Structure formats: C-alpha cells, structure tokens
C-alpha cells in the first residue's frame, strides 16, 4: 500500500467520494447561485400620506426613485398600511403626518416615521438607508440654491456594490474545505474500524493525511480561485499569497482532521456529530457577526479551529487585497495549530495502541 | 397490588426506552447550540465597532468636528492615523471597519466658503460591521453641517430649533416593528438554532432507520431541545414576542412533525443509510439560506423562490415571523402552516414502500 493507493481509496468508496470530491465541487456552485441576486432592489413599500402636500409627494417620488425601494401602495390611513404589512405585501411603511408641510414651511424640523418589518434585517437596511439618503438631499427653502457648507463623500471599499454573496461566499469557501475534509477522513477511518480492519499505524495514518492534502490542493485551487472567478466575486489575492496561505491552511486542516478522526468508530456517525458544527464555525470566524461584539470567551474558543485564521486571512487577502505581511499572524497561528493537533494526534494514537495492544 | 404491578411495568418500559436512547449527544449538542448562539449574540447590537480618523488638517476646527463624532451609536473612534495609507492598511488588517478623512486645507476652505470635503471610507467586505459603521457615518453630513452652520445662523438671531430646521429640514425616524431594539439575537438565534436542531433530528432519524421505534425515540430526544430553546429565549431571556405561547409551541411541534415526515419520506425513497443522511444534511444546511432570514427569498431568482417551498425551515420561519414575532393570526400564514402539515403527511404518499423498506432493509456500506 503506497500513497497512490491511499488516493485511490478516496475515490473507490462511495462515502468519501461524495464527501471529498462531489460536495466540494457542487456546494459552492449551489451557494453562489442562491446569492446571484446580490442586493435588495425594488422592495415593496407603502406610503401613508396624511399631509397630501406637494412636499410630501416630492419626497415619495424621490424615495421611489432609489434603486432599493419601490413605493407600491399609497394609502390614506395607517390601518390600511398595517393590513398590507400583515399580508406581507409591503415590508416597510413610510408615514407623513398631517402637519408635515406646515412644519417645513414654518421653520420647524419635520419628522417622517418609517416603520420597518424587522423579520428581515436586510429590508430594514434598504428602507432606512435610502430614506436617509433622500432626507439628506432635502434643502430648506431658505437654503435653496446655496451649496452645502461641507461636501461629504461616501466611499465603499472592496465589496463596492455591497453584494451579499460576495461577502458570504468569501467566508464559506475556506470553511467548505475544512468541513468536507474533516467529514471524509472521519468517515473513512470510521468505516475501517466498523469493518474491524487493523488500526492504522501512525505512518499509515499520516500517509492518508498526505493523500487528502494532495487532493485538497487541487480542490482548494478550485474553491478559492475558480469559483470566485466564475461568479465574479472580488478576487485580489496574488498567486504568491494564495500559496503562502493555502499550504499552512491545508496542513492545519489535515492534521485537525487526523486528530478528530481518532474519535470515530462508525461510518455514519461523523455526519451526525460534525455536520451541524459548520454554522457554529462560520459564526466563530467573525465574518457575519463582528469579532468585537462577541463575548471574550468565544473569541478565544474561535482560535481552536483552523477555519478561524483561515477564513479571516482569506477574506483579507482576497476580498480586501491585503498584503501577505498583514496576515502573517494568521499564518503563524495555522502552523502552531498544526503542531498542537499533530502532538495530540500522536498522543491519541499512543493511547489507542496501548488499549488495543497493537503496534504504533 | 394492581397499581404496584402497573407501576413496575411502566418503570420497565421506561428503562427499556432509556437504554435505547443515547442521551449524551443530543444533550451536549442541543445545550451547546442554544448556549452558543444566545450568548454569542448577547450584546444584541454590536457596540463600539472600531473606526479611525485621519486628520490631515490638524486645526481646532477639525478637532471640534471630531468631538462631535464621539456621539456615534455603534462605532467608536479608536485611532488617529497620520495618513490615508496607514488607515487603509489598518482596515485591511481588520483593525477598523471604516475611517474618516479630513483633507489638508479643510479649515481654510471652510472659512473662505469654498465647500471643503469630508470623505468616509467603509469596509463592505465585512457586512454587518460595514453596515453599522455606515449608519453612523451617514450622520456625519448632518453633524458637520450643524457644527459649522450653527454659529452663522445663530448670529442672524435664529433659535437652535430653527437652525436645525434649516440645516436638516426633515428627520426620518426609524421604527422596527417586532424588534424594537434592533436586537440581532431575535433574528439570528430564532432561525439558526431551530435550523440546527432539525438538521440533527433528520440525521438521527435516518441513522436509526429502519428501527422505527429507536429512530423516533432518539429523534424526539433531540427534538425536545427545540422546546427547551423556545422556553429559554421567551421565558428566561424574555425576547419580545407578540404571539401567544400556544402559537410558539404549535409551530415548533409542526416543524418537528414536518422534518420527521421529511426524513421518513427520504428513507423510503433512498434505502441507503449513507445516501439518506447525505440528502438530509444537504437539505439541512441549505435550509439556513433558503429560509430567507438572512437574504430575503423575495429577492432571489424566481426559480429559487419556488424551490424555497421544499424546505420545512422556510415554512417555519415565515410562520414564526408572522405569528410569533408580529402576532398576526394563524390564518395569515395558512400557506406555511399547511406546508408544514403537508411535510408531516409526506410518508403517507409512500406508505407501502416505507413499510416494505422497514421490513427488508439490509445495511450496506
């Protein structure tokens, strides 16, 4: 049995074939497809215009003209608007009180109320920010014709259209590598034990690790380069940076999988025990929920998994075009993790050999 | 005597059930998931996200403007950089979510009425952080106008209120229905935790099939945590809910029924343990996206909108946000409620085949 046989055995078994080849190939495509429409456009909104004045109508026109919002209904009382919201026909209500125009013309600040369905956070963002932008454009009649005292520019960097897929996939892609590698190896080792085959020696087990490493170098190239390119996600990573990140990341993820695989004695249990951790690990990377807002305890726990430094480094290199020197600490963490996982793996192997009275 | 005998046999049945159920994993996974998400999102709304200032002008005017920025809600100025490159690098290192630049000659231009610029840069590659920073930074416009214009207009004899009315004639006041504090816990935990629990329920069911009794016992052991979760977030954490308790419990029960039906249906169609578990985990993981809690389904490709009906979590999420979050009557969400019931009834479609599978199932790799 050589290395070539170890690679072949991944393809021979239906289970590892699905987990280590088919899922990494197809999953990112499915995910990217789900988020092809990346931004909120024309979300339905209802306007309640009690003021019924030229001023309020102008605001509604301008609000309607923003790309995010479409004022689909104009009603004359709040009850009707609430009904529309309850029927999920609109996701926000913009309300102009009776004295809206009057206040504007008598030098009082005139409030507009915006009620938004908080079931969907992105709707709130779209409705509120576009209303805010329209608000900023409005000038008091006294100031009409005068330029603003200060001009304020907003520059969105990196993910310039604020695409949802472009943000989420950058975090999911490295995570897919870790999770499928982990599931496939645990399943293979579990199957061996379930069949009652002899426990692998350290050398044999490491050779399996190397087989996965080689396979995932190819898959990693596909996931981290081809998929972002195919779906037009931001792609600012250089070849040198990609290799500098991918080598330690795959070493860390492979040794992690080798360590975890020691715990499995059955073919299917890895599914139950590991599949649900993906969502938890995604949150721990800090991509969707800011790291600074996490309790300190979870910030520390996050460092136990290769996905945390891996995902963070990949986002910074690929989505933000950072220099490789900016993420050097993540690379060191990945290498340190690999050393610790390997040490624990050897210790685990030793304990198992002692229990089964087999050779290491 | 009779009672004692009955009690004894009841006790034996309980023991038998107990031995057939592996308690360890459901308890650990269920409790961990609940504690993880509720504590991770405990702050509700991120506070004090780091942003930076680059002041190339260095005058007392820009210093005053900076002080005004300290009133931001969810961000906090943590650093002052000497030039834009340093600020951009800090952003690329993930140290700040945005920065504001006061260009050289700002004050001079301001005093001579030549409309100086302020620019703010946001990192939209990190979504939540970028969006929250944006909300704050948009107020810079108003704040800076106020800071500069106030003195001039006051000198003309206007009151503070009139000054504000001139500088910012309209004020948009945002109200979030159902989630008054914009608490992320309400909208992330309430969908992700049930999603994880049903993923585990379907996997456990497929794992123990064709032994129906063991599958159901172990599956329901896991399912209990959905109810524990609801009791915890609404009973102890007191997250707001307009819907009544029985509605919460009813839709949770329907969700469990739906995924049980789904898992049995898949088992009947795909008589391999490996394949049925693969399908269930694919479904379970896709559910998080297809539920529409993160990116709304209405905004997805029409084909995906149609496909979303194939995911029990989607029906649950819609029923949850309509009936529990907003407290609308159940009749409003009848489509989703009946969707869940249909899922629960799926095994009836393949009843004969299911019985046949259970009788003849042979475990193969």
Confidence at residue B200, expressed as pLDDT on a 0 to 100 scale: 93
Residue-level pLDDT at A341:
96
Instruction: State how far Cα B310 lies from the chain centre.
Output: 20
Strand order in the sheet with A92-96: A69-75, A43-49, A92-96, A110-117, B170-177
Q: Least CA distance to A113: which residue of chain B?
A: B173
C-alpha B344/C-alpha B258 separation (Å) is 4
Closest CA to A245 of A157, A346, A172, A174: A174
- In chain B, where the domains are located: 24-42+181-360, 49-167
Neighbours of A204 (CB within 10 A): 13
List, for residues B26-63, the tens digit of each pLDDT value.
888 899 999 999 888 877 677 778 888 898 888 888 88
Please give the Cα distance from B280 to B278 (Å, whole number).
5
Helix residue ranges per DSSP H, chain A: 3-12, 14-17, 23-34, 54-65, 78-86, 100-105, 121-137, 164-194, 202-221, 227-230, 239-261, 269-274, 277-284, 296-302, 307-314, 328-356
Predicted local confidence at residue B312, as pLDDT: 95
Q: With a cut of 80, say whether residue B150 has pLDDT above it.
A: no
**pLDDT of amino acid A46:** 93
Q: Pick B49-167's CATH classification: 2.60.40.420, 3.40.1710.10, 2.40.30.30, 3.30.565.10.
A: 3.40.1710.10
How would you classify the pairing of strands B98-102 and B117-123?
Answer: antiparallel
Tell me the domain boundaries of chain A: 3-36+163-356, 43-143
* Closest Cβ opposite residue A159 in set B49, B124, B365: B124
DSSP sequence for B60-92: HHHHHHHHHHTT-SSEEEEEEESSHHHHHHHHH
Q: Residues A251-299: pLDDT tens digits? A: 999 999 999 999 998 888 888 888 889 999 999 998 888 888 888 899 9
pLDDT above 80 for B4: no
CB A238 within 8 A of CB A327: no
Give the tokens for residue B224. 């209990």
Q: From CA A353, how far away is CA B19, in angstroms rounded?
A: 30
B171 at the A interface (CB within 8 A)?
Answer: yes
CA distance A100 to B80: 41
What are the distances in angstroms from CA B270 to CA B65, B216, B280, B285? 66, 18, 11, 19
**Residue in the structure block whose two tokens are 């064709």:** B210
pLDDT tens per residue, range A40-51: 888 999 999 998
| pLDDT number for residue A255 | 97
Looking up tokens 């739906």 gives B258
What is the Cα–Cα distance from A178 to A35, expressed in whole angstroms?
22
Nearest chain A Cα distance for residue B40, angstroms: 5
CA closest to B219 among chain A residues: A272
Which residues of chain A neighbour B153 with C-beta distances below 8 Å?
A: none
From A3's Cα to the closest Cα of chain B, the distance in A is: 24
Residues of chain B found within 8 Å of residue A159, distances taken between Cβ atoms? 124-125, 127, 130
Q: How far is CA B138 from the centre of its chain?
A: 25
Strand, helix or coil at B243? Answer: coil
Which among A107, A297, A326 has the least Cβ separation from residue B165?
Answer: A107
A198 part of contact set with chain B, CB < 8 Å:
no
Helix (H, G, I), strand (E, B) or coil at A231: coil
Residues A228 and A276: beta-carbon distance below 8 Å: no
Looking at the DSSP assignment, which residues form a beta bridge with residue B76?
Answer: B50
ipTM: 0.86
Sign of CA dihedral B320, A163, A236, B130: negative
A320 with B277: Cβ contact below 8 A: no
Contacts of B50 in chain A (CB under 8 A): 292
Task: Please write the tens of the pLDDT for every residue from A312-348.
Answer: 999 999 988 888 999 999 999 999 999 999 999 999 9
pLDDT tens by residue, A135-178? 888 777 777 666 676 777 777 778 777 778 888 889 999 999 99
A83-112 pLDDT per residue, tens? 888 888 888 899 999 988 888 888 888 888
pLDDT for B177 equals 65
Task: Judge whether residue B169 has pLDDT over 90.
Answer: no
A116 vs B175: CB contact, 8 Å cut-off? Answer: yes
**pTM to 2 decimal places:** 0.88
Phi, psi of B257 (to 5 degrees): -60, -45
Three-class SS state of A152:
strand
* B274, B284, B326 ranked by CB distance to A268: nearest: B274
CB atoms A292 and B328 under 8 Å: no
The two three-digit tokens of residue B195, written as one number: 């999603």
| B349 touches A: beta carbon within 8 Å | no
Angstroms from B351 CA to nearest CA on chain A: 26
Write down the residue that tokens 């608000």 correspond to.
Answer: A135
Split at pLDDT 50, 70, 90, the class of B9 is low
Contact yes or no for A282/B35 (Cβ under 8 A): no
Report d(CA A191, CA B33) in Å as an integer: 28
Q: What tokens appear for B346 in the block?
A: 């799926």
> What is A287-350 written as a DSSP string?
SSS-GGGS-HHHHHHHTTSTHHHHHHHHIIIIIS---GGGGHHHHHHHHHHHHHHHHHHHHHHH
Strand partners, B121: A155, B99
Given 3.40.1710.10, 3.40.50.620, 3.90.1150.10, 2.60.40.1180, which CATH number is that of A43-143? 3.40.1710.10
A48, A60, A121: best to mutate for the B interface, most B CBs within 10 A: A121
Nearest to A96 by CA among A82, A115, A80: A115
Q: How confident is the model at residue B95 (pLDDT cuts 50, 70, 90)?
A: confident
A196-218 pLDDT, tens per residue? 888 888 999 999 999 999 999 99
Q: Do B300 and A34 count as a contact with CB atoms less than 8 A apart?
A: yes
Q: Where are the beta strands (DSSP E) in chain B?
A: 49-55, 75-81, 98-102, 117-123, 170-177
Token representation of residue B309: 């009906």
The answer to whether the beta carbons of residues A222 and A302 sit under 8 Å apart is: no
pLDDT, tens only, B232-261 = 999 988 888 888 899 999 999 999 999 999
For residue A270, what are the CA distances in angstroms to A19, A57, B162, B215, B281? 11, 60, 67, 17, 12
pLDDT at B176 over 60: yes
Question: What pLDDT score does A63 carry?
Answer: 92
User: CB of A126 within 8 A of CB of A69?
Assistant: yes
CB of B176 within 8 Å of any CB in chain A?
yes
Q: Which residue has the tokens 């289970």?
A: A15
Q: In chain A, positions 90-119, which contact chain B (CB-CB < 8 Å)? A: 103-104, 107-119
């Amino acid at each position: 049995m050589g290395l070539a046989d170890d690679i072949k055995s991944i393809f021979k078994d239906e289970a590892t074939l699905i987990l280590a080849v088919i899922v990494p190939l197809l999953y990112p495509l499915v995910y990217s497809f789900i988020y092809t429409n990346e931004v909120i456009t024309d979300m339905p909104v209802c306007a309640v215009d009690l003021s019924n004045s030229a001023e309020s109508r102008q605001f509604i026109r301008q609000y309607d003209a923003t790309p995010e919002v479409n004022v689909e209904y104009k009603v004359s009382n709040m009850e009707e608007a609430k009904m529309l919201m309850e029927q999920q026909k609109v996701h926000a209500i913009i309300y102009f009180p009776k004295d809206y125009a009057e206040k504007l013309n008598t030098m009082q600040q005139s409030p507009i109320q915006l009620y938004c369905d908080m079931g969907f956070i992105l709707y709130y963002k779209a409705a509120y920010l576009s209303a805010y932008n329209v608000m900023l454009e409005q000038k008091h009649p006294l100031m009409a014709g005068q330029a603003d005292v200060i001009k304020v520019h907003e520059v969105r960097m990196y993910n310039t259209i604020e695409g949802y897929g472009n943000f989420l996939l950058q975090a999911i892609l490295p995570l897919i590598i870790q999770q499928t590698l982990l599931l496939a190896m645990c399943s293979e080792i579990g199957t061996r034990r379930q069949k009652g085959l002899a426990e692998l020696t350290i050398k044999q087990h490491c050779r399996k690790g190397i087989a996965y490493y080689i396979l995932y170098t190819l898959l990693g190239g596909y996931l981290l380069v081809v998929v972002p390119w195919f779906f037009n996600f931001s792609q600012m990573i250089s070849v040198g940076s990609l290799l500098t990140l991918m080598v330690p990341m795959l070493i860390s993820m492979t040794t992690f999988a080798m360590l975890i695989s020691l715990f499995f004695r059955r073919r299917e249990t890895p599914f139950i025990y590991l599949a649900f951790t993906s969502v938890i690990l995604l949150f721990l990377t800090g991509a969707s929920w800011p790291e600074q807002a996490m309790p300190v305890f979870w910030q520390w726990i996050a460092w136990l998994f290769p996905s945390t430094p891996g995902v963070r480094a990949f986002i910074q290199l690929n989505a933000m075009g950072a220099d490789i020197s900016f993420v050097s600490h993540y690379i060191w963490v990945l290498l340190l993790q690999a050393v610790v996982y390997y040490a624990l793996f050897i210790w685990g192997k030793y304990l198992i050999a002692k229990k089964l009275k087999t050779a290491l | 005597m009779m009672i004692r005998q009955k009690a004894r046999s009841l006790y034996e049945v309980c023991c038998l059930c107990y031995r057939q159920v592996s308690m360890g994993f459901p308890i650990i996974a269920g409790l961990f998931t609940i504690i993880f998400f509720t504590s991770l999102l405990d702050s509700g709304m991120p506070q004090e996200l780091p942003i930076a200032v680059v002041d190339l002008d260095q005058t007392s005017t820009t210093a005053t403007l900076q002080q005004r920025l300290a009133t931001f809600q969810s961000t906090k100025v943590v650093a002052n950089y000497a030039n834009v490159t340093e600020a951009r690098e800090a952003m690329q290192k993930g140290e700040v979510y945005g920065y504001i630049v006061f260009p050289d000659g700002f004050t001079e231009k301001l005093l001579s009425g030549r409309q100086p610029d302020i620019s703010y840069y946001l990192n939209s590659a990190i979504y939540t952080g970028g969006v929250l920073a944006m909300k704050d930074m948009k107020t810079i416009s108003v704040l800076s106008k106020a800071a500069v214009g106030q003195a001039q207009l006051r000198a003309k004899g206007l009151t503070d209120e009139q000054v504000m009315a001139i500088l910012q004639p309209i004020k948009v006041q945002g109200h979030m229905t159902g989630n008054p504090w914009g608490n992320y816990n309400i909208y992330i935990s309430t969908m992700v935790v049930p999603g994880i629990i049903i993923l585990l329920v379907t996997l456990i069911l497929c794992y123990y099939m064709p032994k129906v009794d063991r599958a159901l016992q172990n599956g329901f052991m896991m399912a209990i945590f959905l109810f524990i979760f609801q009791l915890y977030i609404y009973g102890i954490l007191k997250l707001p809910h307009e819907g009544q308790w029985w509605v919460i419990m009813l839709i949770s029960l329907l969700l469990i029924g739906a995924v049980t039906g789904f898992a049995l249906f898949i088992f009947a169609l795909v008589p391999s343990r490996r394949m049925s578990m693969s399908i269930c985990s694919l479904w379970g993981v896709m559910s998080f996206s297809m539920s529409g809690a993160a990116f709304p389904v209405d905004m997805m490709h029409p084909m995906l909108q149609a496909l979303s009906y194939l995911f029990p979590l989607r029906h649950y999420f819609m029923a949850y946000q309509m009936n529990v979050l907003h407290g609308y009557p159940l009749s409003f969400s009848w489509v989703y409620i009946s969707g869940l019931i249909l899922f629960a009834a799926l095994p009836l479609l393949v009843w004969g085949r299911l019985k046949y599978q259970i009788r003849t199932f042979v475990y193969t790799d």
